[in-house]
Amino acid sequence: MSEKTLTRMDLTEAVFREVGLSRNESADLVESVLQHVSDALVAGETVKISSFGTFSVRAKSARVGRNPKTGDEVPISPRRVLTFRPSHLMKDRVAAGSTK
């Protein structure tokens, strides 16, 4: 497996090459899309991207955890966590290793 990480700059460069916007316009577009997604998630909305997957925020209640090293019980406070469920198409593509 490759250790490459896809960055905002990579996305900006892809928009620049594929869509034909200037580099600055491409960067603004990528930032705008990411901002819309994060704003929706902060507001508790679900973000579904067809053929890709679904991002959602889940509320986890308080519970008692255990330190695995010492065995001591530790209270874990309630929190909101981000979850991602890939679509079946994305799962199939990843399993097959195809890029298109």
What does the pLDDT look like over 20-77, one tens digit per residue? Answer: 899 999 999 999 999 999 999 999 999 999 999 999 999 999 999 999 999 999 999 9
By the 10 Å C-beta count (0-12 exposed, 13-18 middle, 19+ buried), 12 is classed as: buried
Task: Using pLDDT thresholds of 50, 70 and 90, give the confidence band for residue 99.
Answer: low
Average pLDDT over residues 2-24: 91
| Residue count (the chain) | 100
- Nearest-angstrom CA–CA distance, 74 and 64: 6
- Nearest-angstrom CA–CA distance, 65 and 28: 43
Give pTM, 2 decimals.
0.78
CA-wise closest residue to 23 among 52, 31, 62, 35: 31
